Amino acid sequence: MAQITIVALGHPLLDIHADVSDNFLKKFKVEPNNAILIGPEQQDLQEELLNGDHDLTFVAGGAAMNTVRMLQWLVNDPRKLQCYYLGSVGRDAGAKCLRELMEESGVITHFQVQEDSPTGICMALVNGCNRSLVTSLGAAADFTPEFLMEKKSWKMVESAKICYLNGYFVGISMNSVEILLKHIKSTNKVLCFNLASPFVSRLHFKKIDAVIPYADFVFGTRDEAQAFAEAKNLDDNTAVGTAKYFASLPRVLGSIRTRWIVFTNGPGSIMTISSKDLKIRNFTVDPLPSDEFVDTNGAGDGFAAGFLASYLVEKDLDKAIQSGKKAAAYIIRRSGFSLDDRYDF
């Protein structure tokens, strides 16, 4: 089998995981199971986490980084698959930690270094089976088109057969995304896209709308899909409406390949639709015992990794869904997006 090569553009973040109470979430105006950028109401959140009595865990984060880390880990053979990752960090200990973690995973990284901005952080607040993400992008928001076009960065892009983006990056770094989309169009490369979060779907629906025609795979949750439908004011402003809309958008590259839309729904069924027949299929999710729930943070990133690890090799939707479910369940059973020895999977 020829080697599969993937390049992801994303926001590298150092994740800080903490178990918090309902009152803690209310104090900082954070909703359960939501993902937001830090605002005025959350300015003191990081300080309270670091100086309080919370049991903290630090892990590599950022949605695209999570997916390529797990994808590399799942395939576990650089001769079969090699992932590359481009992002922006500060010149600090957080960046050093991220480099080491990515090197351990086998993903080849190239970071733009910002002298005046710290490496971004994501505070993952776990409350029972729920999790909320509060992100301070820091240097991650400063990724530039000039860095993307640098020789080393562009060599990674050119060598990759598949590109991976998500809504977070599209929302902040659209100038760089447009350069990548032109390359995808001229080379007929595969694009995988993840919606990322409901607030991204609402705030950046126009940018997402511009990316989907290039995409071969679109991942997301039903909440993210419904947020897009409402922001776009689709006639059917539900997740199903978004799925059908995405599947029916004309491909920039013509009708050479099928576009797959895959929306998860926590413990609810997984919905898929393809541009080939526009038929909705639903796949049940095996319930996890309540005592095995640890942290849902990154479950969607893990699902995308599991799905792609299977589908890119076997081209079988049912097997890919099973692989995605298994990967998501593995992440849910762990604190943070942490990966142990491969034989534990």
How would DSSP label each residue in 116-134? Answer: SSPPEEEEEEEETTEEEEE
Question: pLDDT tens for residues 6-58?
Answer: 999 999 999 888 889 999 999 999 998 888 889 999 988 988 888 877 888 88
Type of residue found at 94: G
| Active site (annotated) includes residue 301 | yes
Task: Report the predicted TM-score, pTM, of the whole model to 2 decimal places.
Answer: 0.91
Mean pLDDT of 230-249: 97
- What is the model's pLDDT at position 293? 84
**CA distance linking residue 144 with residue 175, whole number of Å:** 8
- What is the model's pLDDT at position 265? 95
pLDDT at 162 over 70: yes
- Tell me the three state secondary structure of residue 333: coil
pLDDT at 97 over 90: no
Question: pLDDT tens for residues 150-161?
Answer: 999 999 999 999
Could you tell me the domains of the chain? Answer: 4-10+62-110+139-344 (3.40.1190.20)
Question: pLDDT tens for residues 185-207?
Answer: 999 999 999 999 999 999 999 99
- What is the model's pLDDT at position 129? 75
| Among 77, 295, 301, 344, the one annotated catalytic | 301
**Taking the CA of residue 249 as centre, how many other CA atoms within 13 Å lie in the half-sphere pointing to its CB?**
22
- What is the model's pLDDT at position 46? 85
How would DSSP label each residue in 13-51? Answer: EEEEEEE--HHHHHHTT--TT-EEE--GGGTTHHHHHHH
Residue 21, judged by CB atoms within 10 A of its CB (0-12, 13-18, 19+), counts as: exposed
- What is the model's pLDDT at position 127? 86
Mean pLDDT of 304-327: 97
